[in-house]
Chain A
Amino acid sequence: MKRLCGLFFVCALAAMLRAEPPSSFAIRDARVVTVSGSELAKATVLVKDGMIVDVGPNLAIPADAWVIDGSGLTVYPGFINALSTWGIPEVAPAAGAASRATAAPAATPQPAATPQPRVRGPEDRPQNNSYERAADLVKPTDHRLEGIRAIGFTTSATFPNRGILAGQGALIDLAGDQGADMVVAQPIGEQINLRTGGFRSGFPGSLMGVISYVRQLYLDLDQYQQAKSIYAAHVSGTPRPEYDHYLEGLAEAPRILLPADQAQQIDRMTSFAQELKRPAVLYGMHEAFLRIDALKQANLPLLVNLHWPEKAREADPTDVPSLRELEMRANAPAVPALLTKAGVHFAFYSEGADSAADIRKQLKRAIDGGLPRADAIRALTLSAAEVYGLSDRVGSIDKGKIANLVVTKGEPFEEKTTVEYVFVDGKLFKPSKVPPASPAGERGRN
């Protein structure tokens, strides 16, 4: 095995065994689920220099390849989280915090000694981080990465998720020497959050305010682009368009991501996407079981939130939830199965606050809700790549694609299943087999 010497960024967390990167591997005679084609009962996957060199039965194995015996194991494409903050360390909840920390990321203004100047309207571009790029923010030191690689995730569509125009995402692989190494493609989209500061805050303080703001921004973008092209054709004597870096940020994104959980929100965002005339992706989908036909008609890429609605931990025991709430809790995990039955493609995501253990359980619930395992895998791999137009380079086990793989003993997401190997960009990771320490206080001893 060749050892790459020289500049190494040594990972501070030693619990995960980080293999030295030999460039050539062969996983021999494993069951291979390519996702793009039919399953191969017994095949070999060849990896070199971070790419899948070949996949098939009875392949000739190069002499320098490190051979992994795949008997009894299954190889899948590495799982992709279709919308998260993974890889951005500042957004991660503090290490060791309860996994039920809220998903609302920081965007609180600094308290000022004097009253804040008022936002005058959309022209002041409040809560607008459209130009922020996840590609510039990702680092391999995000403490969440180790745990999620250990359950088979190799890739994430990572977004900064700050503010209303919440920044541009990048498809990243979940390991690297430095942030830039992780970036597979960017920008992949602009995330939009329909969040307000509430009645006492500045504009926008209401949901209708946010919607009109986004609408105005895209009208401004149209005019900006028209103005730039007219100016370019007739510089002399024409007033120059003002530079607007927020609009530049919006212009870069090839698609927008719009949130929609409840049925009326799904209706609303479907119309809004049409109105904005931009490729759009809807994310959330917890009440989609009421809108399967409409979603099929709308033909928009969908992202389903794995963080299923559940009973609040700190609920008043005498409080009975509403029927609507109960129906959502009961039926949301069945949404993936219903979408699949209707022939609607979707990908899974988990925003970033859930632990690896939670995600595994959430995926299991979708399968228990009637989603065939093969479709669950697809929603975690090729479908996610397709949403972002990147299925030519990730999402399946095909010759020429990036070597993102997960090798399991057993069916994914089942409790007894172990993840034996994970390849990220062709680098081998072997998840630790040491069981996690028991959480303090649960035992109540000493």
Chain B
Amino acid sequence: MRSQALLLLVAVSAIAADHESLLIQNVTIHPVTSAEIKGGSVLIVDGKIAAIGTKLSARGAKVSDGKGLDLYPGLINAGSNVGLSEISSIRDTVDIDEIGVFNPQLKAEVAFNPSSEHVQIVRAAGITTVLSLPSSRGEEFSPASAVDAPILPGQGALMHLNGWTWEEMALKRGAALDMLFPIIPSVPRREQTIGGPPQRTYSELEREYKVKLEQIANFFEDARRYAHAKAAGEPDFQPDPKLEAMIPVIEGRRPILVRAGKERAIRDAIEFAEKEKVRIIIADPHDIGSTAELLAKHGIPVVLGETLTLPLKEDDAYDSQYALPGQLFKAGVKFCFGTFDVEFARNLPFQAAAASAFGLPPQDALKAVTINAAEIFGVADQIGSIEKGKLADLILTDGDPLEATTSIKAEFIAGKPVNLESRHTRLYEKWNARP
């Protein structure tokens, strides 16, 4: 079990150094984008998948026996704060949710801590790439929004969970512009308390919401004016980092990852995208209402948050959140999964599996944590499946990686073997040995 994995890993790392080739033999390959291959082999050269098949020759590569285990692409968590937050209740260790309403120039990767415990812990679950975002879950889950709540907290980066520096780990910088779409918070039911602040009315909250939508429109117009002025090339042009960061967005090269929990926000976000002619990805929706068809029609992909959440309303079906991914699938919406946190980022595969119990075909659950994420964020040429030419982001398991009972035996990121130890395993070893 654990000791087996260790042995295998030691064997593999002893063999494969940075520039050597590695042939993993005798595995059941699950490419994801094509049928599984029993008794298969994968040849890794220069960090990439050079060949896949059943009878590959070693061609000088070191050979490793996969012992009939399963080989999958490394999993992708498409929404997290890994690297940016260590202990959520200790602000000193947290680097998300910067002050300011519009901060599109902030970049998640520059504060990504490669030595964060979470890096090792999360990859031990078979997750090789994460999208690190500069904000927490968004207004829906934080205390009542103030007028100065962040709307564009910065850019998210796709990070490999292996490397000496964040530079080495950054697979795609500026992978998306993070956006927290404004909401109209629910007016809470009055409780039986003595005293307490006066309640805000719905009309007040709605007005504030509309003001924020106006602010967004104005900011995007500022960005277009800036791009226009820059293109004119006048010598007295004044650069502005904030607006500079908006150029790829308005030119359609950088999508906006829009956090929109409820139906109204989703509709308004789609409308906003049409008006501003920008590409959006909807993130962490919980109440899609009838927007699934609209999303499919506009080809807007979705990053789903945790499947395992409570229904929003008392009368909702008990499995309303469990069944959400299945509903999107049936409607033809393309989606992947993220956890939008750090402490449970490693449980991404179980979120996908839970959706399968409630209507998402298991094969598509696997796609949603691999190839779909890669395609949605424009890195499908590099990761997301086991295909020739892609990076060797691979995990070796004793079964389905979406099952909690499965063990991850070995892992490769960009062809390099990755140590599956972590603070958690080291504590295990140390204290198991206490007499």
Contact = CB atoms under 8 A, between A and B. Distances in A.
Contacts of A438: none
A198 B190 CA distance: 12
Interface string A365-396: 00000000000000000000000000000000
A320 interface: yes
B194 interface: yes
A197 B202 contact: no
B190 A323 contact: no
A314 B187 contact: yes
Nearest to B184: A316
Interface stretch (A15-23, A102-110, A220-228, A232-240): A102-110
Contact of B195 (A108, A320, A322): A108
A312 B194 contact: no
Interface in B186-229: 186-187, 190-196, 201-203
B314 interface: yes
B148 interface: no
A195 B314 contact: no
A107 B194 contact: yes
Given A320-B313, A322-B315, A315 B195 contact: no
B38 interface: no
A85 to B, nearest CB: 16
A195 B201 contact: no
Given A322-B314, A322-B315, A315 B187 contact: yes
Contact of B192 (A194, A314, A323): A194
A104 to B, nearest CB: 8
Nearest to B191: A198
A323 B194 contact: no
B313 A108 contact: no
Interface residues of A, number: 26
Nearest to B192: A195
B264 interface: yes
B202 A314 contact: yes
Nearest to B199: A314
A196 interface: yes
Given A322-B314, A322-B315, A323-B315, A316 B202 contact: yes
Given A322-B315, A324-B314, A315 B202 contact: yes
A318 interface: yes
B313 A322 contact: yes
Interface in A234-284: none
A317 B192 CA distance: 25
A34 interface: no
Interface string A161-173: 0010000000000
A193 B193 CA distance: 10
A197 B187 contact: no
Contacts of B201: 314
A195 B191 CA distance: 9
Contacts, number: 48
A127 interface: yes
Interface string A300-323: 000000000000101111111011
B354 to A, nearest CB: 26
Contacts of B203: 314
Contact of B194 (A127, A315, A316, A324): A127
Contacts of B187: 312, 314-316
B314 A197 contact: no
Contacts of B194: 104, 107-108, 127, 163, 195-197, 201
A198 B193 contact: yes
Contacts of A314: 187, 201-203
Contacts of A198: 191, 193, 196
B268 to A, nearest CB: 12
Nearest to B185: A316
Contacts of B190: 102
Interface string B313-332: 11100000000000000000
A266 to B, nearest CB: 16
A318 B313 contact: no
B227 to A, nearest CB: 36
Contacts of B263: 318
A197 B313 CA distance: 26
A316 B195 contact: no
Contacts of A201: 193-194
Interface in B83-132: none
A64 B142 CA distance: 75
Contacts of A207: 192
A224 B313 CA distance: 49
B200 to A, nearest CB: 9
Nearest to A317: B202
Contacts of B186: 316, 319
A161 to B, nearest CB: 11
B202 A196 contact: no
A312 B264 CA distance: 21
Interface in A184-213: 193-198, 201, 207
A323 B196 CA distance: 28
A101 B184 CA distance: 24
Nearest to B314: A322
Nearest to A193: B192
Nearest to A210: B192
Most buried by B among A108, A197, A316, A319: A316
Contacts of A320: 313
Contacts of A127: 194
Most buried by A among B191, B194, B264: B194
Interface in A403-434: none
A163 B202 CA distance: 29
A107 B192 contact: no
B195 A197 contact: yes
Interface in B264-323: 264, 313-315
A124 to B, nearest CB: 16
A133 B1 CA distance: 75
A109 to B, nearest CB: 7
Contacts of B264: 318
Given A196-B192, A324-B314, 4 more contacts: A108-B194, A198-B196, A316-B184, A322-B315
7 contacts: A193-B192, A197-B194, A315-B187, A315-B202, A316-B187, A322-B313, A324-B314
Closest 9 CB pairs of A and B: A314-B201, A108-B195, A322-B314, A198-B193, A314-B202, A107-B194, A195-B192, A316-B202, A195-B194
Interface of A: 102, 104, 107-109, 127, 163, 193-198, 201, 207, 312, 314-320, 322-324
